[in-house]
Structure 1
């Protein structure tokens, strides 16, 4: 093989090697960025979950100290438990949160409540208070248990 042709082949080989090295470097950067993005997402989700668990404990404490209406607490606790430990909603004593939620979830809240007829609101409040009274002891027991429940 003539010397000139050898040099062209070597030059082409070096260009291919350079292109492959650039491709490998770029792919490793992309993988590194993906790993970093995934780690940040996992950290965010863990912080969010920890915040929800802390909220559960605060609401449960508020129930224990009668600082919140039981119906409101049940709605909030049920919503949070659905995200962090949905299996608890099926087990005693925590299933009372699901039961109360199911009994009062048809009632309007927030803006919908403001635009609802006052007589309807009054009737629904009576129904809600009756549900709270019926399940008051179970709600308190579940709140106490929830505060001491380990949620992984």
Structure 2
């Protein structure tokens, strides 16, 4: 084999090795950045979940201390449990949050409530209070249980 061909092949081999090393380094950096992003995302999700669990506990304490309406607490706790532990909504005693939500979800809230006729709002309030009264004991028991539940 001629000397010039040997040197050409050696240079081509070194060039191929250099390109492969560059590719490996670039892939390694991409992988590290991806791992950092994943770790950051997991930390954010963990913090968000802990915040939701804390909100559930605060709402439960408010129910236990009669500091908020049971219907509002049920709607809020149900919404938070949908993200934190939706399987709890199918278990006793937590099922009451889902039941009250289902009974009240058709009622207007916020701006829609303000724009609704006053007599209709009064009728809805009476219905809401009747639901609260019918489920009051179960709601209090569920609030105590959810406050002590290990998430």
Structure-1 separation of matches of 2:91 and 2:2: 84
Cα deviation digits, residues 81-116 of structure 1 (max 9, x gap): 111111111111111111100100100111111111
Equivalent residue pairs, number: 151
2:23 pairs with 1:26:
no
SS of structure 2 residue aligned to 1:150: coil
Which string of whole-angstrom CA distances, capped at 9 and with x for unpartnered residues, describes residues 48-107 of structure 1?
Answer: 110110000000000001111000000000111111111111111111111100100100
Give structure 1 regions of 4+ aligned residues with deviation exceeding 6 angstroms.
none
2:120 equivalent in structure 1: 120
Q: State the alpha-carbon separation in 2 of the partners of residues 117 and 22 from structure 1.
A: 70
Distance 1:15 1:37 in 2: 33
Unmatched runs of 5 consecutive residues or more in structure 2: none
Question: 1:66 maps to which residue?
Answer: 66
Q: TM-score, normalised by structure 1?
A: 0.97
- Following the alignment from structure 2 to structure 1, what is the Cα–Cα distance between the partners of residues 127 and 143? 22
Secondary structure, aligned partner of 1:93? coil
- SS, match of residue 13 in structure 1: helix
TM-score, normalised by the number of residues in structure 2: 0.97
Report how far residue 117 of structure 1 moved: 1.0
The equivalent of 1:105 in structure 2 is: 105
CA distance in 1, matches of 2:11, 2:78: 69
Question: In structure 1, what is the Cα distance between the partners aligned to 2:10 and 2:30?
Answer: 30
The whole-number CA distance in structure 1 between the counterparts of 2:10 and 2:47 is 55
Aligned residue number for residue 82 of structure 1: 82
Task: List gaps (5 residues or longer) in structure 1.
Answer: none
Q: Which residue of 1 aligns with 2:42?
A: 42
SS in 2 for 1:67: coil
How far apart are residue 119 of structure 1 and its match? 1.0
